[in-house]
């Protein structure tokens, strides 16, 4: 039952995404129209805490609960991969009003339209994987 902790962490994440309204289509529209600090405050504060947190984890060489070192995986630099991939993701984020986590939050919250979004997201991932070596990375 070593996976129970991931279910609990995911449950907390789902509750936070709903209660913060970060999973709300309305809030995403408001964010892309720059009409409230709300979403910028959420992401900005998470990063403002996250940067020193990661810094200290690295500096103190902290261990995870099993005693293994906490490792970070640097991402290889590329312009087309992150620019094109990111832009396509952003188009979908604004259109569906949800990124992958909030898609699942909304299904749990009882909005069946997000089942269509989830199935299509899995399909989009498959099409990416299928054409991966033909795309600029």
CB of 55 to other proteins, least distance (A): 8
- Contacts with other proteins in 63-82 (CB under 8 A)? 64-66, 68, 70, 72-79, 81-82
Per the rule left: phi > 0, alpha: psi between -120 and 50, beta: everything else, 64 is: beta
Pairwise CA distance, residues 106 & 109, whole Å: 5
Least Å from the CB of residue 40 to other proteins: 8
Q: How many chain residues interact with other proteins (CB under 8 A)?
A: 113
Contacting residue, 59, 60, 61, 110, with other proteins by CB under 8 A: 110
* Site track 14-33 with other proteins (rule: CB under 8 A), x = hit: xxxxxxxxxxxxxxxxxxxx
**59 or 72, CB closer to other proteins?**
72
Rounded-to-integer distance, Cα 94 and Cα 127, Å:
20
List 59, 60, 61, 130, residue binding other proteins (CB under 8 A): 130
- The number of residues making up the chain comes to 137
Instruction: Please state the closest distance from residue 63 (CB atom) to other proteins, in A.
Output: 9
The answer to the question of residue 60 lying near other proteins (CB under 8 A) is no
CB atoms within 10 A of CB 69: 10
């Amino acid at each position: 039952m070593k996976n129970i902790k991931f279910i609990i962490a995911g449950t907390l994440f789902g509750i936070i995404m709903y209660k913060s309204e970060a999973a709300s289509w309305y809030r995403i529209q408001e964010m892309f129209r720059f009409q409230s600090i709300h979403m910028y405050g959420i992401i900005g504060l998470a990063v403002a805490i996250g940067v020193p947190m990661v810094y200290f984890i690295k500096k103190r060489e902290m261990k995870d609960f099993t005693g293994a070192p906490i490792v970070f995986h640097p991402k290889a630099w590329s312009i087309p991969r992150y620019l094109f991939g990111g832009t396509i993701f952003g188009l979908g984020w604004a259109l569906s009003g949800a990124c992958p986590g909030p898609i699942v939050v909304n299904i749990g919250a009882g909005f069946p339209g997000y089942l269509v979004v989830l199935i299509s997201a899995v399909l989009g991932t498959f099409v990416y994987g299928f054409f991966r070596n033909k795309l600029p990375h």
